[in-house]
């Protein structure tokens, strides 16, 4: 096996950053295929916390190529800041970054529109990250999007910006905003971006094929999670991109036959940030306890995440939508801080999340033997093999794996790289 896709199997924030960082040690190329700086990957390297939003998590390994695919939306200002931040940690010093010519650009007017829409009292509130993600993808589908390749051609950029101005200035006015698309200022900014983005542009599909053809290992890094997928998530409370494994192909410009395996990541419980259905959400003290134990605050917006028990019907749906060949379970150490654990094994009235959706889902829980107690979190985090985990943890993992019918390939028991139990080789 020379390629592996790693995707979120819940509503995002499953710990993809850490898992991809661990697996990237063996990869030659790490390619991200969707989303933008709505994602936030927290990496802990030698005790130093690094948060990336755009650059794939392979960035911590010197010489590992990092690729931003055509399915992404890229805010050049954020990208520049992130590269600078990574360089202060001595990362990305080699010629490691590549960006697809066909990725779309987020401009300030996308960010402003995102915020105006979220703040409007009449709007359906999605609880977006306000980073301009939705407006940029919307422009892409409306065929007025501006790609990285358009930045390299000043005449075409101006023409595309004029098109956007005609479409969006009336919308700003409708919101009572005095903002408008400022073509001259944006052309000026873009001319500066080109200096440093230009040399890293590429054909992402060709890049992946080159690596695979040379017998090298490629990791496809997902963003967000299956239940936020624009086609298969809890629509309309979703992000605007294809977050499932199918997005690897469209987002990078390669065929499905190039994907050798797909690992889905799930927390040992469930979290969600933003609006939309979340059947196993726990209100009150129980939810607060999970949030506190797991440090469940958004890496991008700092918003507190809603928390609840693991939702097996939702996870099984995600496994099917992604064709998972492996399941990664993260944050098992967090449950060790809780006195009792439950798990959702079905919804009332035999409601099926695939057929009936999530809106009316009422979870049915089963208690499971917990592993909470003094010193247990330390014991879980110190384990380096399945055998060293408490019996109750192993039983929990078996229950999850049997239910979703996917083998567990990796277990994460803390934020550090070493707090990882590898069960199956990635490549
Ligand atoms: P957008 O992607 O900013 O348009 O936000 C749409 C929805 O996706 C909102 O509910 C966000 O909270 C959610 N979302 C976007 N990115 C992430 C992420 O990386 N983790 C968790 N939720 C996310």
241 lines ligand 1 (CB under 6 A): no
Per-residue pLDDT at 92 = 87
Q: Whose CA is nearest to atom 16 of ligand 1?
A: 38
Domain identity same for 189 and 282: no
**Number of Cβ within a 10 Å radius of residue 354:** 13
Boundaries of domain holding 146:
104-196
Ligand 1 atom closest to Cα of residue 35: 2
Domain identity same for 271 and 192: no
Per-residue pLDDT at 270 = 98
Q: Which residues make Cβ contacts (< 8 Å) with residue 176, sequence separation at least 6?
A: none
Residue where a domain terminates, one of 168, 196, 224: 196
Binding region for substrate = 299-305
127 lines ligand 1 (CB under 6 A): yes
Q: Which residues make Cβ contacts (< 8 Å) with residue 21, sequence separation at least 6?
A: 41, 43, 45, 57, 58, 60, 417
Per-residue pLDDT at 426 = 95
Ligand 1 atom closest to Cα of residue 223: 19
Domain identity same for 274 and 401: yes
Give the chain's residues under pLDDT 70. 1, 122-123
Domain identity same for 273 and 416: yes
Distances (CA, A) of 427 to 60, 100, 145, 214, 219: 19, 25, 36, 15, 9
Domain identity same for 189 and 273: no
Residue where a domain terminates, one of 196, 217, 234: 196
Q: Catalytic: 13?
A: yes
The conformation of residue 305, written as its DSSP 8-state character, comes to: P
Residue where a domain terminates, one of 196, 217, 249: 196
Ligand 1 atom closest to Cα of residue 241: 2
Nearest Cα to 181, choosing from 167, 166, 165, 162?
165
Residue pair 241/59 in contact (Cβ under 8 Å)? The answer is no
Domain identity same for 273 and 402: yes
Per-residue pLDDT at 123 = 66
**Tens digits of residue pLDDT in 78-110:** 999 999 999 998 898 888 999 999 999 999 999
Domain identity same for 192 and 282: no
Task: Decide if 73 is inside a domain.
Answer: no
Per-residue pLDDT at 1 = 65
| Given the residues 53, 104, 110, 140, the one annotated as active site | 140
CATH of the domain at 186: 1.10.300.10
Domain identity same for 170 and 272: no
**Tens digits of residue pLDDT in 24-77:** 999 999 999 999 999 988 777 777 888 899 999 889 899 899 999 999 999 999
Task: Decide if 325 is inside a domain.
Answer: yes
CATH of the domain at 273: 3.90.170.10
CA–CA separation, 414 and 89 (whole Å): 22
Binding region = 12-18, 38-42, 129, 143, 224, 239, 299-305, 331-333, 412-414
232 lines ligand 1 (CB under 6 A): no
Bridge partner list, 346: 364
380 lines ligand 1 (CB under 6 A): no
Task: Decide if 97 is inside a domain.
Answer: no
Domain identity same for 138 and 273: no
Nearest Cα to 29, choosing from 101, 115, 97, 80?
97
Bridge partner list, 31: 67, 220
Per-residue pLDDT at 8 = 98
Task: Decide if 140 is inside a domain.
Answer: yes
Tally the domains of the chain.
Answer: 2
């Amino acid at each position: 096996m020379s390629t592996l896709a790693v995707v979120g199997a819940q509503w995002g924030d499953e710990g993809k950053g850490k898992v991809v960082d661990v697996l990237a040690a063996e990869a030659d190329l790490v390619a991200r295929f969707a989303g933008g700086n709505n994602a936030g990957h927290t990496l802990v390297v030698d005790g130093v916390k690094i948060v990336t939003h755009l650059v794939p998590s392979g960035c911590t390994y010197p010489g590992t190529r990092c690729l931003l695919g055509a399915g992404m939306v890229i805010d050049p200002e954020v990208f520049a800041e992130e590269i600078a931040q990574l360089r202060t940690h001595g990362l990305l010093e080699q010629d490691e970054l590549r960006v697809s010519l066909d990725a779309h650009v987020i401009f300030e007017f996308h960010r402003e529109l995102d915020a105006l829409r979220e703040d409007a009292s009449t709007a359906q509130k999605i609880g977006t990250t306000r980073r301009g993600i939705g407006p940029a993808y919307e422009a892409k589908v409306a065929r007025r999007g501006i790609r990285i390749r358009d930045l390299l051609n000043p005449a075409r950029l101006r023409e595309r910006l004029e098109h956007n101005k005609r479409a969006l200035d009336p919308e700003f006015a409708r919101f009572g905003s005095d903002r408008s698309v400022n073509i001259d200022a944006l052309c000026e900014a873009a001319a500066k971006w080109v200096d440093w983005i230009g040399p890293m542009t590429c054909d992402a599909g060709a890049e992946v094929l080159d690596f695979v053809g040379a017998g090298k290992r490629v990791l496809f890094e997902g963003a967000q999670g299956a239940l936020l997928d624009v086609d298969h998530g809890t629509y309309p409370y979703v992000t605007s991109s294809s977050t499932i494994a199918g997005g690897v192909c469209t987002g990078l410009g390669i065929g499905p036959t190039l994907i050798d395996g797909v690992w889905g990541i799930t927390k040992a419980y469930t979290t969600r940030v933003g609006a939309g259905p979340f059947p196993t959400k726990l209100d009150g003290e129980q939810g607060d306890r999970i949030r506190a134990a797991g440090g469940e605050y958004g890496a991008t917006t700092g918003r507190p995440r809603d928390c609840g028990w693991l939702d097996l019907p939702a996870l099984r749906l995600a496994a099917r939508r992604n064709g998972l060949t492996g399941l990664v379970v993260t944050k098992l150490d967090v449950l060790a801080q809780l006195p009792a654990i439950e798990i959702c094994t079905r919804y009332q009235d035999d409601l099926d999340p695939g057929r009936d959706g999530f809106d009316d889902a009422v979870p049915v829980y089963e208690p499971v033997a917990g592993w909470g107690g003094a010193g247990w979190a330390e014991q879980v985090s110190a384990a380096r093999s399945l055998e060293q985990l408490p019996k109750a943890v192993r039983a929990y993992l078996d229950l999850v794996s049997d239910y979703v019918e996917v083998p567990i390939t990796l277990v994460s028991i803390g934020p550090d790289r070493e707090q990882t139990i590898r069960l199956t080789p990635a490549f």
